[in-house]
Amino acid sequence: MPLFFMKKLRIAQLAPLLIPIPPRTYGGIEFILSELTEELVRRGYDITLFASGDSRTSARLIPIIEKAIWLDHELKNPHAPVMRMIKAVFDRFYEFDLIHNHFNFFMFPLSLLLDCPRFLCTVHRLVDKQYAETMKAYDKIKFIAISEDHKKSMEELGVPVLDVVYNGINLARYEFKDSPGDYLFYLSRLNQEKGVLTAIEIAKATGQKLIIAGNSAGNAEWSFFLHEIQPLLNDEYISFRGQVNFQEKIELLKNAKALLFPIDRREPFGLVMIEAMACGTPVIAYRKGSVPEIVEHGKTGFVVDTNEEMAKAIERIPTIDRKACRRRVEEKFSLTRMVDKYQTIYEKLA
């Protein structure tokens, strides 16, 4: 083992305060951060997690707020705990060799201080022009993209990207099944750009059973669900499950004959795609953002451009070897690969 790692690198992981770590149901960023944190602790790193007090971790937890913001219905000023988090991290600068931020742009001002440790930020979300201008204003921060297309989208807006680290999952937690049930599955946020209406439309047009799971956040998404989605759920072929926990998610994924991912945005990664493939379930997805990097067309699913192509791909599901789906995740999107990559980046920065 190199001498560097014998020094037990001290890293602060900064979590979003919206959802506990790990998430109870929805929360891809929080799930990946939890997996990363636990594996780093297992590898002997000195990890401090700044998160909500209802989080669970093997690392040292610095609770900023008793309950995650989205779960605290009495909270009137959600930005107040964000300001406390900035102060809590600042007061402990001397304890860390490196800060790894996952909390969007809220923590960026910390990097302006002269004694700030090296500052790494994984960008988990889409980057628009305003976000990019903010990132460029903080030149001490090193930015990580989560797919090659994500990196390209950031660089098109002038944001320097240090590296790309694909999300990775612990395959031991994902049960493989070679003989699925008779339904298609949709799992994501229930908003327009995630494509739930398209999934319903295609399922009805092809006479397929469709199970929908997901959540809505904020007034706009609740309104969209009530007025656009709910009226379509009164169909014998459509089953709505709402939010599901991790084990419920695995049961639904492994028994699905395919996951529909009709995304209508430049998707930075799409965690549910690798979760489905880990269970052996092929993915049928639109050619947006990272999709072609994750799904091997004709081998682990189908990358399509239109509703008609998606409908035709459903007919070809039996041609996919479910074992090949699992192998794809083992080879490219494992937790080990993700943490190995971050470990290399940490070494270079510190």
Tokens of 159: 């944001």
DSSP state of 178: S
The answer to whether residue 81 scores a pLDDT higher than 70 is yes
Q: Are 155 and 259 in contact (CB under 8 A)?
A: no
Tokens of 179: 């003989």
The answer to whether residue 268 scores a pLDDT higher than 50 is yes
Give the model's pLDDT for residue 257: 97
d(CA 324, CA 210): 24
CB-based contacts of 188, cutoff 8 Å, min separation 6: 194, 195, 196, 214, 261, 272
CB-based contacts of 7, cutoff 8 Å, min separation 6: none
Count of C-beta atoms within a 10 Å radius of residue 271: 22
DSSP state of 121: E
Give the model's pLDDT for residue 1: 46
Give the model's pLDDT for residue 4: 47
pLDDT, mean of residues 279-299:
98
Domains and CATH numbers, the chain: 3-168+334-349 (3.40.50.2000), 171-332 (3.40.50.2000)
DSSP assignments along 187-237, one per residue? ES-SSGGGTHHHHHHHHHHHT-EEEEE----HHHHHHHIIIIIGGG--STT
d(CA 344, CA 350): 10
**288 or 231, greater pLDDT:** 288
Give the model's pLDDT for residue 297: 98
**Beta strands 163-164 and 46-51: pairing type?**
unpaired
DSSP state of 55: -
d(CA 240, CA 58): 35
Give the model's pLDDT for residue 233: 83
Give the model's pLDDT for residue 3: 44
The answer to whether residue 323 scores a pLDDT higher than 70 is yes
* Nearest residue to 143 via CA among 159, 121, 165, 117: 121
Q: What is the pLDDT of residues 13-56, one digit of tens each?
A: 999 999 999 998 888 999 999 999 999 999 999 999 999 999 99
d(CA 85, CA 81): 6
The answer to whether residue 222 scores a pLDDT higher than 50 is yes
238 DSSP β-pair partners? 210
Based on the number of CB atoms within 10 Å of its own CB, is 34 exposed (0-12), middle (13-18) or buried (19 or more)? buried
Angle between the 28-42 and 335-349 helix axes, to the nearest 10 degrees? 70
* Nearest residue to 26 via CA among 159, 191, 170, 217: 217
* Nearest residue to 89 via CA among 70, 60, 64: 64
d(CA 226, CA 234): 13
100 DSSP β-pair partners? 13, 120
Share of the chain above pLDDT 70, in %: 98
DSSP state of 297: B
pLDDT, mean of residues 203-231:
86
The answer to whether residue 122 scores a pLDDT higher than 90 is yes
CA 289 from centroid of its chain's CA atoms: 14
pLDDT, mean of residues 175-184:
96
